[in-house]
Structure 1
Amino acid sequence: MQHPDNHTTTITDAPPVGRRVEVGGRRLFVHQSGTGGPAVVFLPGASAVGLDYLNVHDRASQFTTSVLYDRSGTGWSDPAALPRTGDEAVDELRGLLRAAGVPAPYVLVGHSFGGVLARRFAQRFPAEIAGLLLLEPAHEDWNAFMPEPLRLPERPGEPVPLPELTEQLVREFRELLTRMFAPWPQDIREMLVEHHLNPATLHVGAVEGGSLPALYDELRRGGATPDVPLIVCSGTGIDPGQRHFLPEELLRPLNEGKLALYTALADSVPRGEHRVFEDGSHSWLHVEYEDEVIQALRDLLHRTR
């Protein structure tokens, strides 16, 4: 097993639901519910964990198999040295699904950072993909659609800088997290709130975010996205965290650039579609627009079947 550096954060307590499955010498958290196929698999964003998507997982499991998991170095999975390549993360997920007995093909639901991994999985294993649902996905053409102040480094570098966690900021985020996770069971909600307020969790998200240029290079070399049904969902709201990173005058250009980027992404495949959710935020689109995300999943499954 690799020895982790400081770029890792895992929860040592037993997961409140699901189990750990060994893949490549590490135990990975997986929570599988429902029956039938194609199976829906949720790929978390940076700083996120599988149980952040428990609301949509539980509903998806009512009409197909649904899978939540944590990447190595995050959540309830074993530690790992981060960052890793996209191919390493994809191979890990593929191994986990096989070890857990979840047969292909899959509908991958990639959120933010997870959207990059979902597309890389589709590039490498197109025969195992039935459809893609991308929620505010990170994308290699981001800089082409954004004004200069919103562009990201073109090469891998240091972790994305984080704001100072003052007492007021922690209090604001605790209130936000408690509100967003209100429908979750109490024991899971409390664990998730504390996990997301842990500075190590934020640091891991920043490290993964800093690795995006390298992952983008993998996507560029990997060729086109396979011809499968694809739905991109985006929001026009402002994520609460973005207000601590960006001045007010950049928030509108940010949304305008995202709308253009995600429309181009949907148009890049024969069966692509872009759905815009008014006032939806980057981090919480699947909570604020739960019904709409579930409908998108139903639509994708209908198209694949």
Structure 2
Amino acid sequence: MTDEAGKPPLGRRYEINGKRLALYRDGEGGPAVVFLPGAGLVGLEFLNLRERAAELTTSVLYDRGGTGWSDATELPRSAEAVAVELRELLRAAEIPAPYVLAGHSLGAFYARRYAQLFPGDVAGLLLLDPGHEDIYDYLPAEAAALNEQMSADVPEVTAEQLEQSRVALAELYAAWPDSVLGPLIENRLALWRTGLDETANFESELYGELRAGGALPDVPLIVYTAMGRNPYWAQFVSGDLERRLHEGLHSMHAALAASVPRGVHRTLDDASHQYLHVGHTDELATAIGELVGNSRRRGSGAGIDNLGE
């Protein structure tokens, strides 16, 4: 990869431990809001929320190692490795703590691990349809077998499937500027297996790592559950089982929110898991504003208001 070929459409790359990591920042002030994408997604897919957050404070998009416009890295990785890497990147970019960490799906695992390791760096957490190490305690009995079925070897995609994905992504991100949209789509299609590779260590490493990591710090936390139909699940399950899966995830997320004193659980009834952030910009931007505002009130000595339901 040449420097020009690897140049991100926005932002720049920083060298961390011999690897170049892409980061884009905007806005000013603190606490900075840092977005941690889900598996298979990249930072620029959260451009809509980055723009809204930048109206309030410093807003940061980045690609962790092995994804997007950051250098290739062997996948999967431990959550600790990802968290340490992010901390070093934020320091290199001179973005001071504390941070509001906004983690989606797999990114929520990494946000929680960061909070376990570096609690003093964290001002708040926004977890978007997060996974959880005890997920099977909440899901129907069929879920484990279903997971094995969905995790079976995935064949190479065909040219027709890639073109279908190109059209779908262009429609999904139609509001993104052309200078970002084209490179974003081509990057996603070229690295389509990244999401599979990143999640390959859930049972073997990630779940145990989060369980052993300890409790979350006492910071404001908002957890969202996407309750809309999941197109991927629909290929494998009946409507009734999908309903019960959603009910289990709802209970799991409610328990996660209740694990800290200022945790709040909310739902997005018409949102699907993978892209819940795209169609709900206003609501999620409001949640970010609540977390930033709580941190600032705490810093000013004016006390911390409980987040409302």
- The aligned counterpart of 1:293 is 284
Name the counterpart of 2:15: 22
| Equivalent position of 2:199 in the other structure | 209
8 Å CA contact 1:106–1:129 kept in 2: the answer is yes
Aligned counterparts of 2:89 and 2:293: Cα–Cα separation in 1: 26
Q: Aligned in 2, Cα 1:164/1:16: closer, same or farther, shift over 3 Å?
A: closer
State the 1:26 CA deviation: 0.7
Partner of 2:299: none
Q: Provide Cα deviations, 1:63-114, integer angstroms capped at 9, x if missing partner.
A: 1001111111111001111111111111100000000000000000000000
User: How far does the alpha carbon of each residue in 1:146-192 deviate from its partner, in whole angstroms, 9 at most, with x for none?
Assistant: 1133237999xx96643663566445433321121111011311222
1:278–1:146 distance in 2 versus 1, CA, 3 Å? same
* Alignment of 1:96 onto 2:89: yes
Deviations 1:24-65, CA, capped at 9 Å, x for gaps: 111100001100000000011110111111111011111100
- 1:132 lines up with 2:122 in the alignment: no
Greater CA drift, 260-269 or 173-182: 173-182
SS of aligned partner of 2:192: helix
8 Å CA contact retained: 2:9, 2:183: no
Alpha-carbon distance between aligned partners in 2 of 1:55 and 1:46, rounded to the nearest angstrom: 18
Q: What's the offset of the Cα at 1:290?
A: 0.8
SS at match of 1:29: strand
Output aligned runs, 1:74-89, within 5 Å. 74-89=67-82
SS of match in other structure, 1:285: coil
Distance 1:153 1:219, change over 3 A: farther
Query: Superposed, which structure 2 residues align to 1:158-169 within 5 Å?
Result: 161-162=153-154, 165-166=157-158, 169=161
**In the aligned structure 1, how far is the partner of 2:158 from the partner of 2:27?**
42
CA contact (8 A) 1:159 1:209 kept: no
- Name the TM-score, length of structure 1 as normaliser: 0.89
Q: Any residues of structure 2 matched to 1:1-305 within 5 Å, and which?
A: 12-151=5-144, 161-162=153-154, 165-166=157-158, 169-198=161-190, 201-213=191-203, 214-305=205-296
Instruction: Give the distance between the partners of 2:31 and 2:232, measured in 1 at CA.
Output: 34
- Aligned equivalents of 1:165 and 1:243: distance in 2? 19
User: Counterpart of 1:210 in 2: which secondary structure?
Assistant: coil
Give the partner amino acid of 2:194.
Answer: V
Return the letter of the residue paired with 1:280. Answer: A
Amino acid at match of 1:236: M
TM-superposed CA distance for 1:250, in Å, is: 2.5
Whole-angstrom CA distance in 1 between matches of 2:155 and 2:287? 34
> Against the structure 1 CA distance between its residues 195 and 152, is the aligned structure 2 distance closer, same or farther, given a 3 Å change threshold?
farther
2-structure distance, mates of 1:248, 1:162: 24
Give me the TM-score of the superposition, normalised by structure 2.
Answer: 0.88
String of CA shifts for 1:100-132, please: whole Å, max 9, x gaps.
Answer: 000000000000000000000000110110000
Output the CA distance in 2 between the equivalents of 1:28 and 1:18: 10
Structure 2 runs not aligned, ≥5 long: 297-309
Paired residues of 1:131 and 1:300 also in contact (CA < 8 A): yes
| Pairwise CA distance, 1:245 | 4.6
Write the distance in 2 (CA, Å) between the matches of 1:161 and 1:249.
Answer: 26
What number of residue pairs does the alignment pair up? 292
Unaligned runs of 5+ in 1: 1-10
Which amino acid in 1 is paired with 2:25?
Answer: Q
Q: Which amino acid aligns with 1:149?
A: E
1:105–1:130 contact (8 Å) kept in structure 2: yes
Is residue 160–residue 206 contact of structure 1 (8 Å, CA) maintained in 2?
no
Is this contact kept in 2: 1:160–1:209, CA < 8 A?
no
130-139 or 184-193: bigger deviation = 184-193
4+ runs deviating over 3 angstroms: 152-155, 158-172, 244-249
- Post-superposition Cα deviations, 1:241-269, rounded to whole Å, max 9, x if no partner, equal 33335444432112111111111111111
